[in-house]
Each structure stands twice: as structure tokens, then as C-alpha cells.
């Protein structure tokens, strides 16, 4: 491979792309298995991604048979019965172990009445700052501000990635025995908390290398959020009442089941206001401590959310709190392409929660568990592969040619137009929340046109180039999303078809999709299991 002057070139065993919970757990776990590891993050490993500015409840369940069975059953139906017990068991087991490991590393869990640590949730800034420390201690090389733009592969499979450092402008390539994609989900640049680095890059890079996706119809999570703000923390809205401007109540509106009522009102141009007036007095100080960042925007605007109604909107979080992602081919999070692994929101979460994640806990559990599975899988793969003698003839896999600074063909304004065009198809509630075949077909046609526009354009190794590439990833993600959503002619999990209300037992399968220019979709049976009680 020709190496540019002034480029950074590294060789390693395992390359992890993305440094959120999934990527950091993958890096630490691979390193613990003896692999040399490089981790590249688009932002900064420790502050970037959906968890870091936020915080997550975690699916932490003691290894007690009854408790675990209850935990598994709690969301099974909501998710449209697409989860698998085998995977739920493994994730519950690994999450339990990893949370205990976090305590060992020094995460400051609160104490319960008996003085034991209470390990049910993680504060994002604290958790991710600790993970960075642990990753560094494990000897992992971290590349911050280093988005991967494309994978490198040969006939044996994936063997690295290439990108650019957005602060120095220096392109980088990392040749690796195995690559873990942990780039998070796709929230379509909607400015949901921490999510603007999550543009579906991993899906596109994986698909370009030949990987498949699963559950992309479960990609339309919308979060309640004050209209003026980015803080899409939703748990506390279980204490909210919803009102119109004139103070009359919005019938049926709610946080969990009544989001569609809020959406319908917003669509009709009727502003909805929330106020957390159902919160009992004695809980208020506890709520304030529990999620400091929930209150931050209110405090700074002089709003008391317990008494003052504030306008709300529903902000798209796409697959971040959806469940679709890269299809996994085995228990160690291998994808359908040799040498390529996926974890966290980048991988499908249907295996543990089907087509719906609801409020917290499952996502965080999935990120840390699948991250460590993938780290193990990648390290084992590299061992089997044997020593790298540098003789692999790796090719760049990007659909769009990625070129040196000054040689590209995309103006920044053009990339911004693409982003806007994708958002126009995916954000509106009457397109993506209340889905119909007719409207989705129109969107898909326009998105296909948009892809054709973008696929030939040369992308530069620059900050603006990265944005153009993000736009392409968003377009690709939206196309897989609507392709799958059109194929599922029923309502299941978070996928709601206005023209096909209700679940159809004949469609109790997962939908696998893929392709770049020509997209395809096919059903895959959910593994039949004996459920032991």
C-alpha cells in the first residue's frame, strides 16, 4: 500500500474503532488476552459518545435464578420476542462480572444500608474517565480526534483501517490482525446528548467490507427533551404531566406509552409543555442528585421543572436508543467478515432486547458485555492468524475515493446539504415514527438518489472530508432503515406501521439487510430455544 508522506502508520494486533463503553471494554479485554491494541476515536476517548456526558442505569442482576428469569422476561414481549435466552444469559453474566470489575478499578459506587456497594448505575463522566485510565494502563495506544474513514481488507478479510487526525490534519493507517467496530449508533446529527459524533460510520465501513446488518427497522427512537435543550434524559418524565399552552391537560400523553400523543400534537402545530408535578416532595432532592445534568439546563434558564411548565419536543436518537446494527455471526461478536468484530450500539442489540430497549440498562449492559466479548474474539482471531509479516496486500474499502487534501470534490456546503436532505427524510414524525409503506417508499427513493449523488464524490482527509463521509454514512443508514422497515409489514417493538397495526406471528423473525448500491433484505429465524423455568 502506498503510504503518504507525513502520514502516521501503525501496525498492531487489534484495532478498536470507537472509544465509548463498548470500545474501551473491547480494548482492555483484548489487551488482557495478550494482544497489542490501538484504539482510535473520532472525538476523545473518555468524553465522547452517548454515555460520557450522560449516565446509564445498568442491567445488573445478581446471579439468582428467579431474579434473572424475571429480568429476562421484563422486556421480552415489549421487544417483540426477538431476543434470545442464550444471549441474555451471557450478557447478564458478563455485565455482573464487569460491574464488579469496575468496583475493583475504583469506580465510586454509592453504599447501601449495610455498607455494601450499590452497583446499579454509572455516571457517564466518572465511568468514561475511569475507562480511559484503565485503557491506558493496559498499554493500549489511544488515537484521539482520529475518525476512521474506511476499512482495509484483502481476500483473507479485514486487516486495518485508515482515517485522519482532525486536529493535526495528518492521515493515519493502522494495519491490524483484527478490527473491532465500536462506533456507536446513528442519531442523524440531531444534537441529542452526546450523540453528534454518532453518524453510523461503523455501519457503512462494515458494509463496505461485506458485513450485514440486522434489525435496522428498529432505529427510530425519539426522546422527550426540552425544546431548547440537548438533554435527552427521559427517565424523570415518568413524573411529568403534559399540558397545552392554555393549561389544559394533554390527554394520554406520557413518557413511556404516550409519546405518540405528544408527537401527534407537535405535528398539528400544538406545542406541548411538561412539568414534573407528579414527583413526590421527598424525592425531589434525590432526583436532583441522581441526574445532575437533567437539571442543568433548567437551572441555567431559571426554570423549576417541578413547578414551571416547559416546552418539549421529541428528538431523534435513531439507533442509539434503537436496537439495530451490524449482524453478529458468533458468540464472540464476529461479523460476517473474517477479522471484523462489532460491539455496543454499532452491533445489533436484538439478541438481548429484540426491537425495543425502553428506558436504560440494557444498552449499557450490552455495550460493556459485547465490548468484552469482541475484545476476546478479536484477540483469539489474531492468535490463530499468527505473526504478521507485513506481506498483506490491503485495499481501501471506501465506496467513495478518499483522497489527499486539496484533491477532493465536495464543498463543505454540499456536505451540509446532504445532511439536511437525510434529516428531512428521517426526522419527521409522520415519516419515521408513524410509518407507512407509501411514505417510506418516497423517502427511500429520494435517499437512493442522494446516495448516487454522493458515492462518486472524492472525500478529502480533512475536517470537511470527515463531514462529507458522515453524510454518506447517514444516507446509507437511512436507506437500510427504510428498506427493512418496508419489509416488515407489521408492527413490532419500536417499529410501528400505521398501515399494518399489530404484530403478525408469521413475521416472528429478524430482518437482515445489506448492500451499498443495491440494497437487499431477508428474514432470519430467531433461534428456537427450550426455555427452562
Partner 1 sequence: MIEVISESKCIACNQCVSVCPTNVFERVVDGIPVIARQSDCQTCFMCELYCPVDALYVAPESESVIGVTESELSEQGFMGGYREKVGWGKGRKPVASHEYMYQLSKRSGF
Ligand X SMILES: Cc1cc2nc3c(=O)[nH]c(=O)nc-3n(C[C@H](O)[C@H](O)[C@H](O)COP(=O)(O)OP(=O)(O)OC[C@H]3O[C@@H](n4cnc5c(N)ncnc54)[C@H](O)[C@@H]3O)c2cc1C
Which residues are part of the catalytic machinery? 259
**Rule CB under 6 A: is residue 214 a binding residue for ligand X?**
no
Q: Are 204 and 216 in contact (CB under 8 A)?
A: no
CB of 315 vs ligand X, minimal distance in Å = 9
Name the binder of 46 from ligand X, partner 1, none, CB < 5-8 A by kind. partner 1
Record the cell numbers describing residue 330, joined without a space: 458468533
Identify whether the C-beta of residue 66 lies closer than 8 Å to the C-beta of residue 168.
no
- In angstroms, give the least distance from the CB of 320 to ligand X: 5
C-alpha cell at 434: 408513524
The only residue of 102, 367, 374, 512 in contact with ligand X, by rule CB under 6 A: 367
Minimum CB distance to ligand X, residue 22 (Å):
3
Q: Is residue 163 at the binding interface for partner 1, with CB under 8 A as the rule?
A: no
User: Is 207 one of the binding residues for ligand X (CB under 6 A)?
Assistant: no
Sequence-distant (≥ 6) Cβ neighbours of residue 78 within 8 angstroms: 354, 356, 358, 493
Which lies closer to partner 1 via its Cβ, residue 134 or residue 332? 134
Between 40 and 351, name the residue whose CB sits nearer to ligand X: 40
CA 392/CA 398 separation, integer angstroms: 18
Assess 114 for contact with partner 1 (CB under 8 A): no
Residue 153: which residues within 8 A CB-CB, separation 6 or more? 159, 209, 337, 339, 394, 395, 397
171-230: contacts with partner 1 (CB under 8 A): 191, 193-197, 228-230
Angle at which helices 463-487 and 412-426 pack, to 10 degrees? Answer: 20
The span from the CA of 256 to the CA of 288, in Å, is 21
Asked if 186 is part of the footprint of ligand X (rule: CB under 6 A), the reply reads: no
Site string for partner 1, 381-400 (x = CB under 8 A): --------------------
The string over 274-300, giving b where at least 16 C-beta atoms fall within 10 Å of a residue's C-beta and e elsewhere, is bbbeebeeeeeeebeeebebbbebbee
Count of residues in contact with ligand X, rule CB under 6 A: 44
Q: What share of the chain is helix, strand, coil (3-state, %, to 5)?
A: 35, 20, 40
Should residue 182 be labelled a site residue for ligand X when binding is judged by CB under 6 A? yes
Of 34 and 106, the one with the shorter C-beta distance to partner 1 is 106
φ, ψ of residue 385 to 5 degrees: the values are: -65, -30
From residue 26, give the alpha-carbon distance in Å to each of 91, 111, 180, 214: 14, 28, 8, 21
Give a three-class secondary structure readout of 366-391.
HHHHHHHHHHHHHHHHHHHHCCCCCC
Among 12, 18, 158, 392, binds ligand X (CB under 6 A): 18
With contacts defined by CB under 8 A, name the span among 210-218, 292-300, 330-338, 512-520 that binds partner 1: 292-300
User: CB of 321 within 8 A of CB of 328?
Assistant: no
Least separation, in Å, of the C-beta of 149 and ligand X?
Answer: 7
Question: Rule CB under 6 A: which of 341-360 touch ligand X?
Answer: 344-346, 360
75 touches partner 1 (CB under 8 A): no
Minimum distance from CB of 103 to partner 1 (Å)? 11
Q: How far is the CB of 445 from ligand X (least distance, A)?
A: 28
Applying CB under 6 A, among 16, 37, 38, 54 the residue interacting with ligand X is: 54
Partner interacting with residue 374 (select from partner 1, ligand X, none; CB below 5-8 Å by kind): none
For residue 200, the minimal CB distance to partner 1 (Å) is 16
Does 283 interact with partner 1 (rule: CB under 8 A)?
yes
CB of 402 to partner 1, least distance (A): 19
> Using CB under 6 A, which of the segments 1-9, 246-254, 340-348, 440-448 binds ligand X?
340-348
351 or 521: whose CB is closer to ligand X? 351
Residue ranges in 294-313 that form contacts with partner 1 under rule CB under 8 A? 296-301
- The contact pattern for partner 1, residues 33-72, with x = CB under 8 A and - = no contact, is ---------xxx-xxxx--xx---x---------------
How many Cβ atoms sit within 10 Å of the Cβ of residue 499? 13
Instruction: Single out the residue of 201, 208, 376, 425 in contact with ligand X (rule: CB under 6 A).
Output: 201
- In degrees, rounded to 5, the angle at the alpha carbon of residue 17 between the alpha carbons of residues 187 and 177 is 145
From residue 99, alpha-carbon distances to 117, 125, 486 in Å are: 11, 16, 39
**Alpha-carbon torsion 161, 347, 399, 387, what sign?**
positive
Query: Does 122 contact partner 1 by CB under 8 A?
Result: yes
Cell of 297: 439546563
The whole-angstrom separation of Cα 185 and Cα 194 is: 12
Q: Is 125 in the site for partner 1 (CB under 8 A)?
A: yes
How many whole angstroms separate alpha carbon 181 and alpha carbon 377? 12
Shortest spacing between CB 403 and ligand X, in angstroms: 18
Which ranges constitute the DSSP H helices of 253-317?
259-267, 284-290, 292-301
Transcribe 319-347 into DSSP letters: TTSS--EEPP-STT-B-SSTTEEE-GGGB
Residues with Cβ within 8 Å of 287's Cβ and at least 6 positions away in sequence, in order, are 236, 239, 279, 294
184 binds ligand X per the rule CB under 6 A: yes
Residues within window 141-180 making contact with ligand X, judged by CB under 6 A:
147-148
For residue 530, the 8-state DSSP code is: P
Of these, 144, 201, 425, 464, which contacts partner 1 (CB under 8 A)? 144
Binding site for ligand X (CB under 6 A): 17-23, 40-43, 48-51, 54, 56-57, 147-148, 182-184, 192-195, 197-198, 201, 232-233, 317, 320-321, 344-346, 360-364, 367
Binding site for partner 1 (CB under 8 A): 42-44, 46-49, 52-53, 57, 107-113, 118, 120-123, 125-126, 144-145, 166-167, 191, 193-197, 228-231, 235-236, 283, 285-287, 289-290, 292-293, 296-301, 463
Amino acid at each position: 500500500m502506498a503510504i503518504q508522506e507525513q502520514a502516521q502508520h501503525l501496525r498492531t494486533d487489534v484495532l478498536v474503532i470507537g472509544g465509548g463503553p463498548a470500545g474501551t471494554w473491547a480494548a482492555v479485554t483484548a489487551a488482557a488476552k495478550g494482544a497489542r491494541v490501538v484504539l482510535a476515536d473520532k472525538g476523545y476517548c473518555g468524553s465522547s459518545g452517548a454515555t460520557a456526558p450522560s449516565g446509564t442505569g445498568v442491567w445488573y442482576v445478581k446471579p439468582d435464578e428467579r431474579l434473572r428469569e424475571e429480568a429476562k422476561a421484563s422486556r421480552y414481549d415489549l421487544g417483540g420476542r426477538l431476543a434470545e435466552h442464550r444471549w441474555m444469559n451471557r450478557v447478564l453474566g458478563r455485565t455482573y462480572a464487569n460491574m464488579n470489575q469496575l468496583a475493583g478499578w475504583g469506580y465510586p459506587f454509592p453504599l447501601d444500608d449495610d455498607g455494601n456497594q450499590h452497583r446499579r448505575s454509572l455516571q457517564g463522566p466518572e465511568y468514561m474517565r475511569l475507562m480511559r485510565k484503565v485503557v491506558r494502563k493496559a498499554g493500549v495506544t489511544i488515537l484521539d480526534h482520529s475518525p476512521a474513514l474506511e476499512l482495509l481488507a484483502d481476500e483473507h478479510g479485514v486487516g486495518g483501517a485508515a482515517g485522519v487526525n482532525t486536529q493535526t490534519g495528518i492521515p493515519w493507517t493502522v494495519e491490524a490482525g483484527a478490527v473491532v467496530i465500536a462506533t456507536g449508533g446513528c442519531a442523524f446529527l440531531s444534537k441529542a446528548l452526546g450523540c453528534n459524533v454518532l453518524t453510523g460510520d461503523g455501519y457503512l465501513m462494515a458494509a463496505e467490507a461485506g458485513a450485514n446488518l440486522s434489525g435496522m427497522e428498529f432505529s427510530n427512537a425519539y426522546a422527550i427533551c426540552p425544546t431548547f435543550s440537548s438533554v435527552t434524559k427521559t427517565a424523570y418524565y415518568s413524573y411529568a404531566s403534559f399540558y397545552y399552552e392554555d393549561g389544559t391537560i394533554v390527554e394520554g400523553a406520557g413518557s413511556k406509552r404516550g409519546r405518540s400523543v405528544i408527537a401527534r400534537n407537535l405535528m398539528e402545530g400544538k406545542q406541548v409543555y411538561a412539568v414534573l408535578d407528579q414527583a413526590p416532595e421527598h424525592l425531589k432532592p434525590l432526583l436532583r442528585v441522581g441526574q445532575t445534568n437533567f437539571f442543568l439546563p433548567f437551572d441555567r434558564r431559571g426554570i423549576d421543572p417541578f413547578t414551571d411548565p416547559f416546552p418539549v419536543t421529541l428528538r431523534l436518537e435513531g439507533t442509539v436508543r434503537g436496537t439495530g446494527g451490524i449482524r453478529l455471526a458468533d458468540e464472540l461478536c464476529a461479523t460476517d467478515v473474517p477479522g471484523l468484530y462489532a460491539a455496543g450500539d454499532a452491533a445489533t442489540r436484538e439478541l438481548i432486547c429484540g426491537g425495543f430497549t425502553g428506558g436504560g440498562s440494557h444498552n449499557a449492559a450490552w455495550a460493556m458485555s459485547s465490548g468484552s466479548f469482541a475484545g476476546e474474539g478479536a484477540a483469539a482471531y489474531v492468535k490463530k492468524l499468527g505473526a504478521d509479516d507485513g506481506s498483506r496486500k490491503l485495499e481501501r474499502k471506501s465506496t467513495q475515493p478518499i483522497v489527499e487534501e486539496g484533491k477532493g470534490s465536495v464543498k463543505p456546503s454540499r456536505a451540509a446539504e446532504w445532511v439536511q436532505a437525510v434529516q428531512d427524510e428521517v426526522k419527521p414524525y409522520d415519516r419515521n415514527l408513524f410509518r407507512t409503506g407509501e411514505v417510506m417508499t418516497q423517502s427511500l427513493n429520494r435517499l437512493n438518489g442522494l446516495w448516487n449523488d454522493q458515492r462518486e464524490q472524492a472525500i478529502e482527509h480533512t475536517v470537511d472530508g470527515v463531514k462529507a463521509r458522515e453524510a454518506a454514512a447517514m444516507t446509507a443508514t437511512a436507506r437500510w432503515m427504510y428498506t427493512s422497515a418496508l419489509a416488515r409489514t407489521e408492527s413490532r417493538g419500536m417499529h410501528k406501521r400505521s398501515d399494518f397495526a399489530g404484530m403478525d406471528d408469521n413475521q416472528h423473525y429478524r430482518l437482515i439487510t445489506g448492500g451499498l448500491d443495491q440494497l437487499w433484505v431477508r428474514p432470519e429465524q430467531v433461534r428456537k430455544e427450550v426455555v427452562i423455568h
